[in-house]
Amino acid sequence: MKDPKQQLLNEAQEDEESQSQQEERQSEQIYHSGSVTPEGGRHKIHCLTIIGQVEGHYILPPQNKTTKYEHVIPQLVAIEQDDSIKGLLMILNTVGGDVEAGLAIAELVSGMKTPTVSLVLGGGHSIGVPLAVSARYSFIAPTATMTVHPVRMNGVLLGVPQTLSYFDKMQERITGFVCQNSGIQPERFKELMMNSGELVMDIGTVLDGEMAVEEGLIDSLGGLHEAVEKLYDLIEAQPKEEAPEDRPKAAPPKRGRAAKAADRHKKEPEPEKKPARSPGRPRKKRSEAAGPLDLPPVPLPPTDSAEAPRPKRRPGRPRKGE
């Protein structure tokens, strides 16, 4: 028999090894992707950080802190497909960055079925505004700020009307997304963007935590504890998934006319073919207009005992003796 003390020691060593391996995996995950999937809470959640500048199609200098959207997008897809992860906590401290890359991440977050909560710490400027409001519920720290300003671009630009039209359309995309995912009105959002009396070298508005909540951009003031508790509430409010045997069977897909005609052709038996006629004398074709044949009536025998009158003799050669 095994010694119970030795067995307990072995189990304790295995627990310590598994815990150390889990910590190593979390450290590697934080180092490589800036995210972590902690365990031990009420529900298993994933923490995603968007920090520094959102890097798009061009690589930024190495001294810049960046969030690469080609790293974030696969993480979001994996979170949505992983049934063990029940929620997503997104922490933002960003100065903005590439408009299309930021909108791509924001659109993915807003379209997730997994409950999502965002928390703005430090700052959520420029394209960080759509990222913050893309979650199902958003928080902002009282000391954090958000800068709202119109789309801008540095470098060499073509001074043609098409460039201004392109900027206007891009600005409409951002305004529409922010207003659909928050409580601010489009007219008020444009007023904050075009404010020229607050920023020294730019137009726009800087909103602190309380002002962002008052304007309707962010849902509530709070910190990490409030964000995690709200995420747990959203997870527990999710409808429970039905078992596979309890789910109603899906109706068969509708088929087109061509498929139905093919099925009907398969079901109907093919008509039997008549054996080919042996070659020979061709039959006479009777014309349809000829009608029935006119045959003379057949005389019936007499029914009475009297002799029938003899038929008259045809005229011809006279008999002898006449």
List, by residue number, the catalytic residues: 126, 149
Count of alpha carbons within 13 Å of 3, Cβ hemisphere only?
Answer: 4
Instruction: Residue 107: name the closest of 152, 138, 145, 77 by CA.
Output: 77
270 φ, ψ to 5°? -75, 140
Instruction: Residue 112: name the closest of 138, 81, 141 by CA.
Output: 81
Collapsing DSSP to helix, strand or coil, 148 comes out as strand
Q: Which DSSP string corresponds to 175-205?
A: HHHHHHTSS--HHHHHHHHT--SS-SSS--E
Q: How far apart are CA 34 and CA 290, in angstroms?
A: 102
Instruction: Residue 194: name the closest of 160, 171, 227 by CA.
Output: 171
